[in-house]
Amino acid sequence: MHTSKKQTALDIILKYFADFNDTQLQQLQQLEELYKHWNEQINVISRKDIDSLYERHVLHSLSIAVLCNFEPGTQVVDIGTGGGFPGIPLAIFFPEVNFLLTDSIGKKIKVVNEVANAIGLKNVTAVHSRVEDIKGRTFDYAVSRAVAPLGDLWRWVNPLLRPGQMSEELPNGLICLKGGDLDKEITESGLKEIVQAWEVDNIFDEESFREKYVIYVPKK
C-alpha cells in the first residue's frame, strides 16, 4: 500500500519522462518521505506545497532538463538551492553531471546533504555559502529557482561561468526558473537583448505552471 501511494505521487513525473532506470526511480520515490520528514524539522518547502512535491518542485525543476541536456562531465552550480531545487531533481536526472548546491542558510544545506546521502546521490556537493563567495572554481552552467532578480543572479554568477557548450541545445550560461510578469525585471537586468524565455506550461501541460518561465542567459 505504501509503495503504491509513492508510485501514484510519481505519476506526474512519469507522465512526461519514460526513460528512468531503476536507481533513478528509487531515488525519486524516496523524495516524498524524506522531504516530509525533514520539512517537519526545518521548513524548506511551504506547507501547502509539500503534498504536491512531485509536481510543484520535482517536475518544475526538470523543465530545465527538457530544454538543456547536460553532457556527462558538465559542472553545474545551483544558486540558493533552498531544500535542493532544482539541483537534486537535476542530479537524479543527470547522474554523470557534477552539481554544487549552494545556499546562505546552513540548515537548508543540512537538509540537502541528508536527502542526497539518503538516496545515494554521488554527484552532489552542498555548501553553506553565497555563490558570490565561491573562489577558485568555474562552471559550465548555473541554475536557480526564484532566488533573486535576474540582474543580481547574473552579476553573481557571470565570473564563475566559463565559455563553451556542454549541451547540444544551449551554450554555457545561466538557466533560472521564475514566475510572474518578468518584463520589468529583464529590462532592468540589462540583458534583454540576449535573454531567452520559455513558458513552463508549454513544456508541461499543468495548470500550476501558468505564468512560470525558464529564463536563459548565455555566457559570452
Ligand-binding annotation for 99, yes or no, is no
Per-residue pLDDT of the chain (220 residues; tens, 9 = 90+): 334 445 568 999 999 999 999 999 999 999 999 999 998 888 888 877 888 999 999 999 999 999 999 999 999 999 999 999 999 999 999 999 999 999 999 999 999 999 999 999 999 999 999 998 999 999 999 999 988 999 999 999 999 999 999 999 999 999 999 998 899 999 999 999 999 999 999 999 999 999 999 999 999 8
Question: What are the cell numbers at 3?
Answer: 509503495
pLDDT at position 106:
94
Distance of alpha carbon 80 from alpha carbon 146, whole angstroms: 9
pLDDT at position 43:
81
Ligand-binding annotation for 210, yes or no, is no
Ligand-binding annotation for 131, yes or no, is yes
pLDDT at position 155:
96
Ligand-binding annotation for 200, yes or no, is no
Q: Specify the CATH architecture of the domain 2-218.
A: 3-Layer(aba) Sandwich (3.40)
Give helix 22-39 / helix 2-14 axis angle, nearest 10°.
110
- What are the residues whose beta carbons fall under 8 Å from the beta carbon of 151, sequence distance 6 or more? 185, 188, 189, 190, 191
pLDDT at position 110:
95
Domain ranges of the chain: 2-218
- What are the residues whose beta carbons fall under 8 Å from the beta carbon of 19, sequence distance 6 or more? none
pLDDT at position 220:
84
Distance of alpha carbon 172 from alpha carbon 163, whole angstroms: 6
pLDDT at position 8:
66
Ligand-binding annotation for 169, yes or no, is no
Rounded to 5 degrees, what angle do the CA atoms 219, 145, 111 make? 120
